[in-house]
Structure 1
Amino acid sequence: MSKGYRIVARRYKTPFGEIDIVAQRRDTVVFVEVKARANLTAAAESISPRQRSRIVDAARHWLAGHPQVAGLALRFDVILIAPGTRPQHLAGAFEADD
């Protein structure tokens, strides 16, 4: 929120999986996956292609129920968390067609 994002949903559950955070900033809807591991590298490596696919499917489910955001840009971000470090925000970490 300190970066100007408005949280639209948290822990949004779908038949395809869960989206940790749905946020909006200006004309962009952002789907955020939060990963916590022993270190930032392990957190980054824990996001598999299969998990990215599930997040994209869950995002499509969310979008289908929110026609008011049709036409806005979409982005998939990741926030990495590890003990003793500051959270790392990776904007545009992956694309819907990866």
Structure 2
Amino acid sequence: MTSPRTPEQRHEADSRGREGEAEAAMWLAHQGWRIVAERVKTRAGEIDLIAKRTGLVAFVEVKWRTRTAALADAIDERRLARVAAAVECVWQDYATDGEDIRIDVILLAPGRKPTHIENAWMPFG
């Protein structure tokens, strides 16, 4: 069992998370995506990034870890289900022109190219 985080540890983790989200947003933009929202809060949880390109809206969960080996455990079904629940609250606000939607994950670690997992979860399919 892990011990609870101190306020300083929570602040540091939040700061690293924001930096990771900014890095992921920049990387997605270089891949041709337009970032339309960041840190969207819903009653079911938070969506890190919402990105669009022609015919598609991606709701993106970003996971940043200090070590590449830790990325293997960064995302699991429980976390993705929480993101999916948040997406269900707002998807219709972003897919306004009949676009397809999907949930993606971007995994980040220092010195490593981002890993983009497309269609990591398909709650509507």
**TM-score, normalisation: structure 1:** 0.84
- What are the Cα deviations for residues 3-37 of structure 1, in whole angstroms up to 9, with x where unaligned? 11111100001111110000111000101010011
Larger Rg: 2
| Same amino acid, percent of matched pairs | 40
Shift of 1:41: 4.4
Superposed CA RMSD: 2.1
Counterpart residue identity of residue 109, structure 2: A
- Aligned in 2, Cα 1:67/1:57: closer, same or farther, shift over 3 Å? same
Question: What's 1:2 paired with?
Answer: 30
- Aligned in 2, Cα 1:94/1:63: closer, same or farther, shift over 3 Å? closer
Structure with more of its chain in strand, by fraction: 1
Gaps in structure 1 of 5+ consecutive residues? none
- Aligned in 2, Cα 1:94/1:61: closer, same or farther, shift over 3 Å? same
- What are the Cα deviations for residues 42-96 of structure 1, in whole angstroms up to 9, with x where unaligned? 22422121211111111111124x1762631111111111112121112222222
**TM-score, normalisation: structure 2:** 0.68
Gaps in structure 2 of 5+ consecutive residues? 1-28
